[in-house]
Amino acid sequence: MVFRDKFSSEGRVPEKKIAYYFCEITYNLRIMKIINRYILKEFFPALLLGLFVFTFVLLLDRLFALISLFLTKKVGFFLILRLFYHLLPSLFSLTLPMATLFALLFTFGRLSEENEITALQVSGIRIRSITSLPLFLSLLFT
């Protein structure tokens, strides 16, 4: 695409303008990298907390059955731990989407409560670029 403006008569962009656009793009990329890192620092602890809590709640149902096996049938402790280990993948398939939703709501709720999303929008950053990385990770996790 050929740019025509009042500075160039032959239809090409002056070198100063190219340098300006390049500096602006690298500056925007640097700012977005910092913002994404900040949002992920809020997202991952909430994700781990949600994963732990939801897994524990769903494990409570099976916990009492395993305790009764341990006490009545005299099943070994390491066998009970092995059963826990084999139960976790099926529980993670249920708890990971719930924990991801919890982390998204918690992260953006806190950012909204402290008016950080508004401050980012006022500084010229679109909401789509703020939410793109956490939403991509949530799609990846579920």
pLDDT per residue over 20-55, tens digit each? 565 666 666 777 888 888 999 999 999 999 999 999
Largest Cα–Cα distance in the chain?
A: 92
Residues 51, 88, 59: CA angle, nearest 5 degrees = 70
Q: Which candidate, 29, 48, 28, places its Cα nearest to that of 40?
A: 48
DSSP SS3 for 8? strand
pTM of the entire predicted model: 0.74
Residue 69's pLDDT is what? 83
pLDDT, average across residues 114-122: 90
CA 1 to chain centre: 37
